[in-house]
Amino acid sequence: MTEASHIEALKGLLGEKGLLTGASDMAAYETGARYDKGRAAFVARPATTEETSATVSYCVRNGIALVPQSGNTGLVSGSTPDSSGRQGIVSLDRLTAPFDLDRVNRTIKAGAGVRLSDLNSKLEDTGLFFPIDLGADPRLGGMIATNTGGSRFLRYGDVRRNTLGLTVVLADEAGTVLDLSSDLRKNNTGVDWKQLFIGTSGAFGIITECVLNLEPAPKQSATALLVPSSNEQVSALLVAMEDALGSYLSAFEGMSGNAVRAALDHVPSLRNPFQGGIVPDFVILAEISRSTPPREGEQPLDAVLEEVLAAIWEREDAPLADAFVGPPHEIWALRHALSEGVKHSGRLIAFDLSFRRGDIMPFLAHMKADMPDHFEDVTICDFGHIGDGGVHFNLVVAKDDPRLADPDFEADLRDWVFTVAVEQFDGSFSAEHAIGRKNQAFYDRYTPEKIRELAAGLKIITSPGPLGAMTF
């Protein structure tokens, strides 16, 4: 446990509201989104970059390990402490300032603790939004540290593409503040240092502020649920939609029948949109959108989507078997309910994988065929971003399955999935949740030695103190 003198010193830096030490106060910070639970020495809640710097400096000088935590919505134990009780959490939840909008430049300078929902709510009257669409509601610092993508990656890209500048506190004895808060879109005057801190799990430093690109909010949209003529035709359907719609196509999301049924079973407010209530084996959510308001004489987007789908349907080797055009809010409600539905179906073992777009469906077919031979009674409830190659490969095990008491069971299952994904399909074992303790062994296995040496060297240069839930 951390000595009482250290606790008092940290309270002096952060104030009573800025430091939590009670078990009940720390419980939510110690528990992750997917069953992981650790034990924290304390939870530091700085409200400014200066307080973050002072806290980190004190802890580095006194050998106290820190785990940065943003919204704590990750799936790989990257934001929770281990069970030793010797790691402190640095929470971003009070880092909600500044909030400075530049309407002409289409940028926002915001605190790393601002939640995604709050950011877009405050921007609603401006006609702009931050175009990363997620089922969870993370904080900006964590989104940057894990380089999240989301459901509209196809059109807007990931967080990396939409981050212009950062302010970062390094884990060195000085708690050095690195000001990389440029709001320029073009600045080729040397190394783009902010990239070191995007997608690297907070291991090189703690993000306290960010400058983000904003996009015009869509003024029109149309959505449809598409049933491919076969799973092998999903890629052909994607290409056909892109050829016909160009930049209008903003989402192309794949949803397995198992995941959809789980959502419908566990979220009573959802409406089953399928004929006779029969959920297809695989469904695609397609969205098209415009950022301009409707113009007189302009074809409505619903009509555009129906016309394109009809043309694809009429092809000789049509990749489309059926389609349901419906209200965007209803169709997106189904997509956003998948995680909650799957989580309530049993014990969830979640993977966030990525592949070349054409390899997604072959990978899924391979796993569905081989799963019973390797792990009986494990249900695949996959869904994800077919348009960008990402797959949330969720495996559900009955809550009373005795294998869950054996820690080797999940370890063996995880090892098998990653071996197939990386070694047979050249995929990534971490599409956008970064590393964390759950993926550390696979980072060590699949990252070339020279790259690991370079990363370890950068860690020593930037943040030599014990920071983060992964090691390079």
Those residues with Cβ within 8 angstroms of residue 103's Cβ, 6 or more apart along the chain or in another chain: 126, 128
Asked if 78 and 433 touch (Cβ cutoff 8 Å), the reply is yes
Q: Supply φ then ψ for residue 33, to 5 degrees.
A: -75, -20
Assigned CATH class of 4-91: alpha beta
- Give me the mean pLDDT over the 66-83 stretch: 87
Question: What is the rounded CA–CA span in Å between residue 120 and residue 217?
Answer: 10
For residue 42, give the nearest of 76, 9, 77 by alpha carbon: 9
Of the given ranges (78-87, 159-168, 238-247, 365-374), which has the lowest mean pLDDT? 78-87
Q: How far is CA 80 from the centre of its chain?
A: 16
pLDDT at 2: 67
Q: In which region does residue 15 sit, left (phi positive, over 0), alpha (psi from -120 to 50) or beta (all else)?
A: left
Q: What digits encode the pLDDT tens for the residues 406-455?
A: 989 999 999 999 999 999 999 999 988 778 888 899 999 999 999 999 99
For residue 332, give the nearest of 221, 241, 434 by alpha carbon: 221
Residue 41: both structure tokens together: 């020495």
User: What CATH number does domain 99-216 carry, 3.40.50.2300, 3.90.79.10, 3.30.465.10, 3.90.1150.10?
Assistant: 3.30.465.10
Q: Supply φ then ψ for residue 97, to 5 degrees.
A: -120, 150
- pLDDT bracket for residue 129 (50, 70, 90): very high
Q: Supply φ then ψ for residue 229, to 5 degrees.
A: -65, -25
- The answer on pLDDT for 95 being more than 70 is yes
- The answer on pLDDT for 402 being more than 90 is yes
DSSP 8-state assignment for residue 71: S
Q: What digits encode the pLDDT tens for the residues 197-242?
A: 999 989 999 999 999 999 999 999 999 999 999 999 999 999 999 9
- Give me the mean pLDDT over the 368-374 stretch: 97
CATH topology of domain 220-338: Alpha-Beta Plaits (3.30.70)
pLDDT at 416: 97
Q: Supply φ then ψ for residue 324, to 5 degrees.
A: -130, 100
- pLDDT bracket for residue 1 (50, 70, 90): low
E strands, 155-195, in order: 163-169, 177-180
For residue 26, give the nearest of 35, 34, 15, 37 by alpha carbon: 37
pLDDT at 274: 92
- Give me the mean pLDDT over the 242-268 stretch: 95
Mean pLDDT of the chain: 94
- Percent above pLDDT 90 for the chain: 87
Domain boundaries, the chain: 4-91, 99-216, 220-338, 346-433
Q: Who wins on pLDDT, 73 or 332?
A: 332
Q: Supply φ then ψ for residue 31, to 5 degrees.
A: -110, 125
Q: What digits encode the pLDDT tens for the residues 145-171?
A: 999 998 999 999 999 999 999 999 999
pLDDT at 74: 80
- Give me the mean pLDDT over the 111-120 stretch: 97
CATH topology of domain 346-433: Alpha-Beta Plaits (3.30.70)
pLDDT at 261: 96
* One-letter amino acid of 273: P
Question: What is the rounded CA–CA span in Å between residue 162 and residue 152?
Answer: 13
DSSP 8-state assignment for residue 66: E
Question: What is the rounded CA–CA span in Å between residue 167 and residue 20?
Answer: 25
Q: Supply φ then ψ for residue 53, to 5 degrees.
A: -60, -45
**C-alpha angle 360/366/371, rounded to 5°?**
125
For residue 446, give the nearest of 414, 420, 423 by alpha carbon: 423
Neighbours of 242 (CB within 10 A): 15
Q: Strand, coil or helix: what is 197?
A: helix
Identical fold, 4-91 and 220-338? no
Which neighbouring-strand residues pair with 180?
A: 166
> Does the bond joining 98 to the residue before it have cis omega, within 30 degrees of 0?
yes
- Give me the mean pLDDT over the 243-266 stretch: 96
Q: What digits encode the pLDDT tens for the residues 2-57?
A: 689 999 999 999 998 999 999 999 999 998 877 788 999 999 999 999 999 999 99
For residue 324, give the nearest of 305, 349, 337 by alpha carbon: 305
Question: What is the rounded CA–CA span in Å between residue 451 and residue 465?
Answer: 20
